[in-house]
Structure 1
Amino acid sequence: MDISVIIPTFNEGNNVQTITNRLSKALQPTGKSFEILFMDDSTDNTPEILDQLSQDASFVRYIHRTNKRGLATAVIDGLKDAEGEILVVMDADLQHPPELIPTMIDKLNEGFQMVIPSRFVPGGSDGGLNLYRKFVSWTARMIARLALKRLRKITDPTSGFFAVKKSAIQGNIYHPIGWKIMIELIVRANITSVAEIPYQFQSRDLGSSKMSGSEQVRYLIHLGRLVMISEEDRKFFSFCAIGLSGVIVNLAIYKVMLLLNSPVVIAFILSSIVSMISNYLLNSTLTWKSRVMHQTSGRIIQFFRYLLVSTAGLAISSGFLSFLFYILHVHPMLSGILGIVTGVIWNYVVNDKWTFSTHRLIKTAKTMETVTNDGQK
């Protein structure tokens, strides 16, 4: 089987005949074998309609689930049961145009693992959503792109319409909650080759957005779980959390030393050093645990590199703040925020690429041990 189109349904008997006709018309000219697989959780007469449809058209299958409900599990079960080498997921509410699928397949044949029709690339449209739904959609997309590095180059990461090669997602265990299945696949299957094509999103004539209050909470929980299993994202958020703890440690010690009548400059320097040590210990234990050197010489090198990077980060963030405030006359609070962001990015990137770069540290540590041994001789 070449293509499987997986469509979750819930009480959408009025749409299944229409979408089947449109899919058949779009896919038959490709000359490829295909199936339409309806994953049905309906409580009305939709199963009867699907049963008749499967008898009339040999390329239609349906699975009526009675032991569980939900879009997430319906799609995942459909992906497992589908027979095609190319898997297409779309809604049954006629918002996703089946006529785009041949173009999606052509893109996959160019070597991409996944193809996403996007509302936000040139030529795309969000179908005239109202202001509230635009805001909710924008917020969901931005949170996903900020939380997960793998999504940052994707303009429409919350789309429910996509095509993926079966070979790209096999061999993984998926635990989606809510209804943003595509994000789950991209992160857990480590999909790195994604193409986007423009499409005209068709607004619902009836019904409301799936993004209710409870679904918003589930969506955030889902993103949080994916951050925790994604090392590249977990490291960054761990680094930021530890940085915040360092600020608290710094201020607490600074305050105590002032109460003890220590000179301001001395109190500031000592509290900064203690917070840097605290940050290093936590980062080496949590953020870069797998890269920490066990040899004493390696740990010493890492520690002093960390101090050097942190000091340079302070100088860079202070310099950038001064440039924004004194030269460009940016508001002091905004200047401060941008300065902090610059320092955080500098510290994270350089520590990740240099301080905790294990293969470089091993060479340096071996050199130090050789020098020490020669000196002892």
Structure 2
Amino acid sequence: MLTVVIPTFNEEHNIIPLTERICESLKGKEFEILFVDDSTDATTEVLEGLSRNNPRVRFIHRHNQRGLATAVVEGFRAARGEVLAVMDADLQHPPEVLPRLLDSIETGNDLVIASRFVPGGKDGGLTPLRRVISLTARLIGRLALKKVRPINDPLSGFFMFKKEVIEDVKLSPLGWKILLEVLVRGNYQHPAEVPYAFERRRGNHSKMSLTEQVNYLRHLVRLVSSSPEDLRFWKFCLVGTTGVGVNMFFFMLFTRLFSLDVILSALLATSLAIFGNFLLNDLYTWAQQKEDHLLGRVIKFYLCSGAGMVINVAVLSALHCYLRIPAILANGAGIIASTAWNYYANNRWTWGSATSRLANENPDSQ
């Protein structure tokens, strides 16, 4: 059976048309609609009457509680279905998409997202300002979390998954983006996205606020902190940033205090910065992973860093000299490429055997 979980807060005018459209869309299917209600208006009374007249409708009314994500999690716990769907109550998520999501589940996918950003999808229900906010939030989420990067619409509030995806998983969402929690913590193998057109909101104004945006950022920090692989990458970036400061300090010291040649000073400063980065990464980023001898790790790190510098210069040259991209932008692209290389190479080679061992011991962390 499918359970459609719908969190509600003051949606009295949308409940009945939404229910009618869901029932029409899922005609012939075994399903229930579970509203989790935090309302302070007449929504609760509407739900009471609806549940009496429609056996497919159930609702939970929470007293003195607020929060879309926590409401959805409570709905997950109370759901009777083996497949769970989540959607909003404001009619921006068209119920007519539910059969397509269910078809995708029945063909073997265990997590299916209704997406605005795959071919055929549209985000016409957003104002220009909300589109900018949504784009920024998606970019930050995909940059911060590895498991989110393959997903085009990781902030969708409209999705469906098999209940086994969250079995024995502790969900502790913060704010309004429950899908991020499922993507990072859930146990799934075959995610998919189905296009849909995000519709304009009907009825009350949007419940998006500055507080919810701050909660989104706090949620990202919590997810990164609880994901060893993501946390390791950001530790590596932090160490690399400190390396820039170390490099500049020694470069100025050699050129101004000791009056050394600029090229020689740059080489010495870079070598010291690389060694400083190695020590910090060895003690901080990959603190538990010490299977190779110290000298072996140092040599590997220097080789990876040297290759990273070659990549940086190659990308800079290609973009600036051949494609005429401004030098500052081309150099930035080179830095990104070399950072990605350095992390991947060091994670797989310098500290690679221990990384693989920990991954095998803790498969859920990767």
Q: Does the aligned pair in 2 maintain the 1:116–1:163 contact within 8 Å? A: yes
What secondary structure does 1:72 align onto? helix
Q: Which amino acid aligns with 1:18?
A: P
2:293 aligned with 1:298: yes
In structure 1, how many angstroms separate the alpha carbons of the residues matched to 2:219 and 2:285? 21
2:144 aligned with 1:147: yes
Give the 3 Å change call, closer, same or farther, for CA 281–152 of structure 1 in structure 2: same
In structure 2, how many angstroms separate the alpha carbons of the residues matched to 1:11 and 1:328? 54
How far apart are residue 108 of structure 1 and its match? 0.9
Q: Which amino acid aligns with 1:22?
A: R
- 1:346-374 Cα offsets, whole Å, 9 max, x none, are 21111112111116999xxxxxxxxxxxx
Query: Bigger shift: 335-344 or 127-136?
Result: 127-136
How far apart are residue 45 of structure 1 and its match? 2.1
Q: Which residue of 1 aligns with 2:233?
A: 236
In structure 1, how many angstroms separate the alpha carbons of the residues matched to 2:94 and 2:319? 48
Q: Does the aligned pair in 2 maintain the 1:150–1:192 contact within 8 Å? A: no
How far apart are residue 151 of structure 1 and its match? 1.5
Q: Does the aligned pair in 2 maintain the 1:298–1:361 contact within 8 Å? A: no
Of 95, 100, 105, the match for 2:97: 100
- 1:270-322 Cα offsets, whole Å, 9 max, x none, are 222221111111112222223222xxx62221111001111121122123323
Unaligned runs of 5+ in 2: 358-366
2:320 aligned with 1:330: no
Mapping 1:216-255, distance limit 5 Å:
216-255=213-252
- 1:76-118 Cα offsets, whole Å, 9 max, x none, are 1111111110001111111111122122111112221211111
- 1:119-159 Cα offsets, whole Å, 9 max, x none, are 12122121353321221221121221121121222111111
- 1:169-204 Cα offsets, whole Å, 9 max, x none, are 111111111100001111011434211111121111
Q: Which amino acid aligns with 1:93?
A: D
Give the 3 Å change call, closer, same or farther, for CA 359–288 of structure 1 in structure 2: closer
What secondary structure does 1:13 align onto? coil
Q: Which residue of 2 aligns with 1:84?
A: 81
2:306 aligned with 1:311: yes
Q: Does the aligned pair in 1 maintain the 2:90–2:203 contact within 8 Å? A: no
Q: Does the aligned pair in 1 maintain the 2:5–2:34 contact within 8 Å? A: yes
In structure 2, how many angstroms separate the alpha carbons of the residues matched to 1:130 and 1:257? 55
How far apart are residue 67 of structure 1 and its match? 4.0
Q: Does the aligned pair in 1 maintain the 2:15–2:89 contact within 8 Å? A: yes
In structure 1, how many angstroms separate the alpha carbons of the residues matched to 2:169 and 2:144? 21
What secondary structure does 1:176 align onto? coil
Q: Which residue of 1 aligns with 2:362?
A: none
Q: Which residue of 2 aligns with 1:171?
A: 168
How far apart are residue 234 of structure 1 and its match? 1.6
Q: Which residue of 2 aligns with 1:121?
A: 118
Q: Which residue of 1 aligns with 2:280?
A: 282
Give the 3 Å change call, closer, same or farther, for CA 138–328 of structure 1 in structure 2: closer
Q: Which residue of 1 aligns with 2:4?
A: 5
Q: Which residue of 2 aligns with 1:195?
A: 192
Unaligned runs of 5+ in 1: 363-377
Of 339, 344, 347, the match for 2:342: 347
In structure 2, how many angstroms separate the alpha carbons of the residues matched to 1:211 and 1:40? 17
Q: Which amino acid aligns with 2:56?
A: F
Of 259, 263, 268, the match for 2:266: 268
Mapping 1:28-39, distance limit 5 Å:
28-30=27-29, 32=30, 34-39=31-36
Q: Does the aligned pair in 1 maintain the 2:13–2:203 contact within 8 Å? A: no
How far apart are residue 213 of structure 1 and its match? 1.8
In structure 1, how many angstroms separate the alpha carbons of the residues matched to 2:168 and 2:117? 31
2:105 aligned with 1:133: no
Structure having the higher Rg: 1
Q: Which amino acid aligns with 1:172?
A: V
Q: Does the aligned pair in 2 maintain the 1:185–1:191 contact within 8 Å? A: no
- 1:215-264 Cα offsets, whole Å, 9 max, x none, are 21111111121112122222221111110101111111222233322413
What secondary structure does 1:6 align onto? strand
Q: Which amino acid aligns with 2:18?
A: I
Query: Bigger shift: 120-129 or 302-311?
Result: 120-129
Identity of aligned residues (%): 45
Q: Does the aligned pair in 2 maintain the 1:35–1:60 contact within 8 Å? A: yes
Q: Does the aligned pair in 2 maintain the 1:125–1:200 contact within 8 Å? A: yes
- Divergent runs of 4+, >6 A: 359-362
In structure 1, how many angstroms separate the alpha carbons of the residues matched to 2:320 and 2:116? 38
Give the 3 Å change call, closer, same or farther, for CA 210–154 of structure 1 in structure 2: farther
Give the 3 Å change call, closer, same or farther, for CA 349–54 of structure 1 in structure 2: same
In structure 1, how many angstroms separate the alpha carbons of the residues matched to 2:97 and 2:195? 9
- Count of aligned pairs: 356
Q: Which residue of 2 aligns with 1:25?
A: 24
Give the 3 Å change call, closer, same or farther, for CA 51–211 of structure 1 in structure 2: closer
Give the 3 Å change call, closer, same or farther, for CA 128–77 of structure 1 in structure 2: closer
